[in-house]
Structure 1
C-alpha cells in the first residue's frame, strides 16, 4: 500500500539503530503510536516483541487488528476464509461509493468524481453493507469485522483511480481502475504475545500504556492525513459522511493534528515524550521536517540522553517549474534514553 511517510524502505535503518542502542527486542514491550500501515510494528512483531499500536484513523486500526493484534484467525460464527469467499461473491448495490465516487453515480451531480469503476464501487457498497449487518447481528466479532475491513482496504488500494493517496482522482483512467475488486486473506504473524491495538488521539493514550520501547513516527510536514485517506476511512466506517468539493472529502476539522502545524508540533512532541512511561524512545524524523531536528534534540535533552542517527534518503518532489525531481534528504532516528 502506498502511504505518505511509509518507513518500508528504511526498516533496516530503524532495526539497526534499535539493535545498536537497545539490543534484542525479543520479549520487550514495543509501542508504535503513529502506526499507519504498521510496517515498523510488523518488523518488531516478527522479532517476538509484544506490540502496542495506535493511530487515530480507523482504516489504520483495521490494519493493526489484521497485522498486529491477531496472531491467528479471531473467533467468529463464520470463518475468515469463508467470509472472504462470500463477500467476493456478492452482487454489487447502488450505495454511497457508487453514488459519490464514480462517473456514472455523479453524472447529474454538481461534481463529477472518478475514483472507481462503477462495478467495483457497487461491490464495495455491497461488502460494506454486509459487514455492518454481520457485526450488528453478531455473526462476526469486532476483531473479525476489522480483519475483513483490512482486506477490503487493501483491495480498494489496488483498484483506485488515484496516484496513491485520495486527495484527488486521476483525470485519465489508470488501468488499475478496471481490475476486479477482490478481497485476499492475511497471513498471520504469531509472536506468542498478547498484542494491543488502539484508535485514539496519542495525547489521550500515552498516560494509559507503558513498556520498554516507544517508537514515534509523527508527520514531517503540514499535510494532514485524514483528507489524503478519506476514501479508506469511509470504507471502514461506512457512515455516509457529508462529503464536500470535487474530491468528495470527509469533514476532518476535528481531526487536525498538532504534529502537522509548525507552531504546535515541537511542544506536542515534547509533551508526549515527557509523559511517556517508556525508558527507550525512538523518533523517526527528517532533516526537512517542519520541526527543526536540532531544536527538537535540544528540547529532548532535558528529559534524557539524546543521540541522532542519520541515513541519506531520496524523496520525490515536484518543483515550481513542473518538473519532477528527487531531493536528497536525511532520515533521522532520534534516540532518547529517559533519565
Structure 2
C-alpha cells in the first residue's frame, strides 16, 4: 500500500538502531508500535520479540494490524478467497457514493470494481455474522480486501481526492490477493484507541512511536478505506465524500508538544524510539528538550526520499529528500 509515512523502506535501518540500544536478542522483550499505520514496523519485530502491541486510531489500520500482527496461526482461507473472487457484483454503498457511474459519480473506483467491493464486503460480513468464519479469518479477509481495493483505487496515492479520469491501474479488475501474515509461537495484541489513552494501560520494553508529522489528518486522507472496513452508512460530505473522522492532536501545531510530553511522561517502557523528520510540526530541539527530561537522550539521522502524494511541480515541499530522525530515550 502506498502509504504516507510508511517505514517499510527504513525498516532495516530502524531495526539496526533499535538493536544497538536494546540488544541483538529481543526474544524476551515486549515491543509496542503505538501509531502502527499499515503495520510495516510491527511485521519486522513480530518474529523477533515475545509480544507485539500494535495500535492505531484509524479503523482501517486496526484491520490491517489485527491481521498482520494479531493473527499468528495458519488459516484455511483458499476456499474463501476463491469464493470472493467469483461473486456476482452488486450496486451498494461504495458503488453509489465512490465509483464511476454511481449516484454521486465520485471516481475513486471504476464502476465494476465499486460493485465488486460492495459484493465482497457484504459476503465477508455475512459469513462472520452467521459464524461461518471466526474472527481471525474475518480480519484476514477484510485486510485482503482493503489492500486489493487500494491497488485499483483511482487516486494519486491518498484518498483526499480522486483523479478526473480512470488511470490504467484503476481500470484493472479487482482481484482479492491474500494478506498473508507471519506465523509465530507467541500471541500479540492489537488496539484501536487514542495513543495517549492506551499508553496508561500498557507496559513493556521497547516503545516505538511514529506519529503524524504534519497537519494532514489520516482520517481524511484514508476515509474511503475506513468506509470499506467499517461497512457503515452515512451521508458522505462534499466533493470527495468525506465521513466524520477522528482528529489527532499530533496533527495540531498548537497541541502536538503537550500531547507528546504527556505520552512520554506516562509511558511505562524502558526505551522509547520516536520517528520524526525535519518537516514535522515539532522541531528537533523541542523533541530533545521534552525527551531528555525523562532520561538519557540520543539522536540518529538518515537522509531519505520524501513521500510524494502530489505532482512534483505543485508540491508544497520542493525538496526531493528529507532528514529522517530517530530520537532515542532510555528512561
TM-score range normalised by the length of the shorter chain: over 0.9
Give deviations 1:136-157, integer Å, cap 9, x for gaps.
2222222321111000001111
For the pair 1:322 / 2:319, whether they are aligned, the reply is no
RMSD after superposition:
1.8
Whole-angstrom distance in 2 between the partners of 1:288 and 1:144: 39
Q: How is 1:232-311 mapped onto 2 (pairs within 5 angstroms)?
A: 232-252=225-245, 255-311=246-302
1:35 aligns with: 36
Aligned length, in residue pairs: 328
Q: TM-score, normalised by structure 1?
A: 0.92
2:108 to 96, 115, 121: 115
Secondary structure of 2:320's counterpart equals strand
Secondary structure, aligned partner of 2:91: coil
State the SS of the aligned residue for 2:275. Answer: strand
User: Which residue number corresponds to residue 97 of structure 2?
Assistant: 100
Q: Does 1:200 align with 2:197?
A: no
Give deviations 1:135-186, integer Å, cap 9, x for gaps. 2222222232111100000111111111111111111221111211111223
2:85 alignment partner, one of 88, 96, 101: 88
2:9 match: 9
Q: CA deviation at 1:59?
A: 1.1
What do residues 111-146 of structure 1 show as CA deviations (whole Å, max 9, x unaligned)? Answer: x31111111111110111112212222222223211
Q: How far off its partner does 1:321 sit?
A: 6.5
- Displacement of 1:329: 2.3
| Distance across 2 between alignment mates of 1:319 and 1:161 | 15
Residues 110 and 166 in structure 2, CA contact (< 8 A), matched pair in contact too: no
Distance 1:156 1:60 in 2: 14
Aligned match of 2:177: 184
Match of 2:185, SS state, is: coil
Report the CA distance shift for 1:274/1:131 in structure 2 as closer, same or farther (over 3 A).
same
Q: Do the aligned partners of 2:160 and 2:220 also contact (CA within 8 Å) in 1?
A: yes
Other-structure match for 2:165: 172
Gapped regions of structure 1 (runs ≥ 5)? none
Q: How many Å separate the matches in 1 of 2:261 and 2:132?
A: 44
Q: 1:321 to 1:69 in 2, by over 3 A?
A: closer
Indicate the residue corresponding to 2:70 in structure 1. Answer: 69
How far 1:211 sits from its partner (Å)?
Answer: 0.8
> Is the CA contact 1:167–1:247 (under 8 Å) kept in the aligned structure 2?
yes
What is the TM-score of this pair, normalised by structure 2? 0.94
Q: Deviations over 1:181-239 (max 9, x none)?
A: 11122333123211111111112211111111000001110000001111111111110
Indicate if the aligned counterparts of 1:135 and 1:142 stay in contact, CA closer than 8 A.
yes
| Structure 2 Cα separation of the partners of residues 307 and 179 of structure 1 | 47
Q: Distance in 1 between matches of 2:217 and 2:29?
A: 32
Cα distance in 2 for residues equivalent to 1:322 and 1:260: 22
The correspondence for 1:313, drawn from 304, 315, 323, is 304
Q: Could you list the runs of 5+ residues in structure 2 that have no partner in the other structure?
A: none
Conserved? CA contact 1:218–1:259, under 8 Å: yes
d(CA) in 1 for partners of 2:9, 2:213: 16
Q: In the alignment, is the contact (CA less than 8 A) between 2:58 and 2:219 conserved in 1? A: yes
Determine the C-alpha separation between the residues in 2 that align with 1:200 and 1:218. 13
**1:187 and 1:321, CA in 2 relative to 1: closer, same or farther beyond 3 A?**
closer
What is the match of residue 58 of structure 1? 59
Q: Following TM superposition, by how much is the alpha carbon of 1:15 offset from its aligned partner in structure 2, in angstroms?
A: 1.1
